[in-house]
Amino acid sequence: MSSPSKTQYQPDENVDTERLQRYVDVLDDVLQYARERDYKGWDYGDGMSSRVLLSMPIENRWFDLVVQEFIKRSPINVRPLFLVEQRRNFKGISLFAMANRSRAQLANWFDGDEDTRLYLDDAAALTEWLIANQAKGYSGFAGSHRHVIQHLSGRNGPREGIPHSPNVVSTGYGVKALLAGREFDPNYPDIAKTAVDVMVKDLNYRPTDDGAVMDYYLSHPKDSYTLNALAIGARLFIELYDYFGDEALLERAEKVYDFVASKQTERGGWYYREPPTASHLSMDNHHNGFIIECFQRYEQIVESGRYDETTTHGLDFYARELFDENGAPNFDEENAYPRDTHATAQGILVFTYAGQYDRAERAIDWALANMYEPSDGRFYFRKHRFYTKRMTLMRWCQAWMAYAIAEYVATRISGEPTHGYGIDGLRVQTEIS
């Protein structure tokens, strides 16, 4: 598929094209940083892949948790000392695939150092990688972390080797990438649709009094629900409905959306889990951003107004309590620190899709001023009150910021929220396929 011509889409009169060019220059550098490393890197919860830990003759959940959390929370990057492997992350590759595809389309409007073909080739190769590296042995297409994560309730995979344990969030972003990459292989949407069986059979989609739920991952506690994962699962159904027009997918989506909407607090935000006592997190930033973005996507597709009040109330809480006016992300509703790059990226997405471009720009500019190393195009992990964790996590920092910046610029050019599907859009492409 060729990129759209300049006569098809034009920035509206309020777009600052010089500002957008600066953002595209940053996007190019962020993608180059990742490309030079074959999109491999450290990740947020990758401590269990430590070769030091794996060499120890100890098989104990609590010991594994201590090592994993020490590596995750250390003020300096101790991963090299623990010989933590640098790998590709399934969700990160999904984000990079979509960001590269959008960047190729943006070549019609913005200068760049790289040839458009490079971005398209990377997008195609990364999307194909998702097929080859999906979690195997389940009911359909499924994504997983490629390192083991030790939870209190159990592991998401074996202690040694590459885990093959699906989770809703990785699968949801993999489905987005396959739908976005349909031009590379016309079979991708059909493969993506098989993820429905993973949600229903493997992750136990089931009705409740308030709608429907599913498990975030296989070993998830059965007495609680992870609300942002449910929202992403609902978005998986609604985006497949958008492509295929299957009313059963819409029905499944709305039941899960109903459940998530019913758990919104009077304050406007959502706790990480239901019940709230099931998690150490409260109404933290990026997980609330996930939920709002998923409701935004529903309203864009269905245009029913069904969740307008939910979305408006959530967005008001999100902008008022989870971000400062200068664009800095607060950690949750009570704490400003640590300020997190992933939270910034999610804010860029939510504000962009809401048409609050001034807020999105303030978030980008805050990140560039406080969390970015322009000499090599990398973003730092977190800023604490008195120090900054200057480690770079490939998925958490680079993939999310590349995707967020690409989405902001593509949405300004397109004139409508792109939601990972580029300037041509998912429904437009479906009509001309």
User: Which tokens in the block code for residue 313?
Assistant: 């109330």
The answer, yes or no, to whether the previous bond of 374 is cis (omega within 30 of 0) is: no
- C-alpha dist (Å) from residue 20 to 6, 16, 403: 16, 6, 15
- Which residues, in sequence order, are CB contacts of 216 under 8 Å at separation 6+? 167, 168, 169, 203, 225, 226, 229, 230
Question: Where do runs of H (alpha helix) occur along 201-331?
Answer: 227-244, 247-262, 285-302, 308-321
Distance CA 165, CA 324 (A): 37
| Structural domain includes residue 13 | no
The pLDDT assigned to 9 comes to: 42
Q: What is the pLDDT of residues 412-430, one digit of tens each?
A: 999 999 999 999 776 434 4
Distance CA 101, CA 123 (A): 5
| Structural domain includes residue 51 | no
Chain CA centroid to CA 203, Å: 19
Q: What are phi and psi of 113, to 5 degrees?
A: -85, -20
Distance CA 181, CA 420 (A): 10
| Structural domain includes residue 75 | no
> If 0-12 CB within 10 Å is exposed, 13-18 middle and 19+ buried, where does residue 322 land?
buried
Distance CA 289, CA 231 (A): 11
> Which helix (H) or strand (E) segment is 225 a member of?
strand 225-226
The widest CA-to-CA distance across the chain, in whole angstroms, is: 65
Structural contact between residues 332 and 340, judged by C-beta atoms closer than 8 angstroms: no
Lowest mean pLDDT among 5-14, 55-64, 139-148, 204-213: 5-14
**Total residues found in the chain within this entry:** 433
Whether 369 shows a pLDDT value over 60: the answer reads: yes
Structural contact between residues 412 and 20, judged by C-beta atoms closer than 8 angstroms: yes
Distance CA 9, CA 391 (A): 39
Q: Judging by DSSP bridges, how do beta strands 154-155 and 206-208 pair with one another?
A: unpaired
Q: Number of folded domains in the chain?
A: 1
The pLDDT assigned to 432 comes to: 33
Whether 87 shows a pLDDT value over 50: the answer reads: yes
- Which residues, in sequence order, are CB contacts of 413 under 8 Å at separation 6+? 9, 10, 11, 15, 20, 106, 109, 423
- Per the structure, the complete domain to which residue 239 belongs is given by 18-44+89-149+163-432
Which amino acid is it at 380? Y
Whether 97 shows a pLDDT value over 80: the answer reads: yes
User: Which tokens in the block code for residue 125?
Assistant: 């190769």
CATH number reported for the structural domain that contains residue 209 in this entry: 1.50.10.10
The pLDDT assigned to 433 comes to: 37
Q: How far apart are the first and last CA of the chain?
A: 10
Structural contact between residues 30 and 377, judged by C-beta atoms closer than 8 angstroms: yes
Whether 14 shows a pLDDT value over 80: the answer reads: no
The pLDDT assigned to 426 comes to: 63
Which amino acid is it at 208? T
Q: What average pLDDT does this structure show over 27-38?
A: 98
Q: What is the pLDDT of residues 310-364, one digit of tens each?
A: 999 999 999 999 999 999 999 999 999 999 999 999 999 999 999 999 999 999 9
The DSSP output letter for 278 is G
Q: What average pLDDT does this structure show over 306-312?
A: 98
Distance CA 277, CA 344 (A): 26
The pLDDT assigned to 187 comes to: 98
Whether 4 shows a pLDDT value over 70: the answer reads: no
Distance CA 309, CA 315 (A): 10
Mean model confidence pLDDT for the chain: 91
The pLDDT assigned to 57 comes to: 83
Q: What average pLDDT does this structure show over 292-315?
A: 97
Residue 268's nearest CA partner among 200, 319, 335, 302 is 319
Q: What is the pLDDT of residues 220-268, one digit of tens each?
A: 998 999 999 999 999 999 999 999 999 999 999 999 999 999 999 999 9
User: Which tokens in the block code for residue 403?
Assistant: 């995707």
| Structural domain includes residue 64 | no
Q: What is the pLDDT of residues 159-211, one digit of tens each?
A: 444 457 899 999 999 999 999 999 999 999 999 999 999 999 999 999 999 99
Q: Report the helix count and the strand count for the chain, using DSSP H and E.
A: 16, 11
Q: Which has the higher per-residue pLDDT, 5 or 213?
A: 213
Other residues' Cβ atoms within 10 Å of the Cβ of residue 294: 26
The pLDDT assigned to 363 comes to: 98
| Structural domain includes residue 94 | yes
| Structural domain includes residue 306 | yes
Lowest mean pLDDT among 46-60, 245-259, 279-293, 393-407: 46-60
User: Which tokens in the block code for residue 389?
Assistant: 């964790």
- pLDDT band with cut points at 50, 70 and 90 for residue 145: confident
Lowest mean pLDDT among 80-89, 94-103, 107-116, 376-385: 107-116
Residue 362's nearest CA partner among 337, 344, 338, 389 is 344
- pLDDT band with cut points at 50, 70 and 90 for residue 55: confident
Q: What are phi and psi of 167, to 5 degrees?
A: -135, 160
Q: What is the pLDDT of residues 370-422, one digit of tens each?
A: 999 999 999 999 999 999 999 999 999 999 999 999 999 999 999 999 999 99
Specify which residues 329 forms β-bridges with. 323
Structural contact between residues 307 and 245, judged by C-beta atoms closer than 8 angstroms: no
The pLDDT assigned to 13 comes to: 66
Whether 431 shows a pLDDT value over 50: the answer reads: no
Distance CA 47, CA 190 (A): 35
| Structural domain includes residue 225 | yes
> If 0-12 CB within 10 Å is exposed, 13-18 middle and 19+ buried, where does residue 87 land?
buried
| Structural domain includes residue 55 | no
